[in-house]
């Protein structure tokens, strides 16, 4: 299992804040995004072709090539706007 978190505009678009996902073997963030995009609708829109989407693996900023291990906490969010 992995823990998925969604924030801000992305959270509102998807209508969910967090979920648990089956994740039996390590695979890349790119693969996780493909799986989420395959849900269609807003999921496709947010994960298939959204170059500004940001991701953190275990609370550290990461890129498409990062590996997702079972047990990881993965967060997706739009570019940050604090400060």
Partner 1 sequence: MTVRVQEADFDTGAEIAQLRLQYPMAGAVVAFVGQVRDLNDGKAVSRLTLEHYPGMTEKSLATIIEQAMQRWPLLDATVIHRVGELPPQAQIVLVAVASAHRGDAFAACEFIMDYLKTEAPFWKREATSEGTVWLDARDSDQLSRKRWQ
Least CB distance from residue 67 to partner 1, whole Å? 18
Minimal distance, residue 47 CB to partner 1, in Å: 18
Q: Is 56 in the site for partner 1 (CB under 8 A)?
A: yes
Beta-carbon contacts of 25 under 8 Å, excluding residues fewer than 6 positions away, are 70
Contact yes or no for 66/73 (Cβ under 8 A): no
CA distance 28 to 65: 6
Distance of alpha carbon 6 from alpha carbon 9, whole angstroms: 9
Q: Which stretch binds partner 1 (CB under 8 A): 3-11, 25-33, 41-49, 62-70?
A: 3-11
Residues near partner 1 (CB under 8 A): 5, 7-9, 12, 52, 56, 59-61, 75, 77-83
């Amino acid at each position: 299992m992995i823990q998925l978190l969604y924030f801000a505009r992305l959270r509102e678009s998807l209508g969910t804040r967090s979920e648990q996902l089956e994740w039996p073997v390590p695979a890349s963030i790119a693969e996780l995004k493909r799986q989420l995009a395959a849900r269609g609708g807003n999921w496709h829109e947010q994960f298939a072709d959204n170059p500004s989407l940001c991701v953190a693996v275990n609370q550290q900023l990461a890129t498409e090539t990062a590996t997702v291990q079972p047990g990881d906490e993965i967060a997706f969010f739009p570019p940050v706007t604090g400060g």
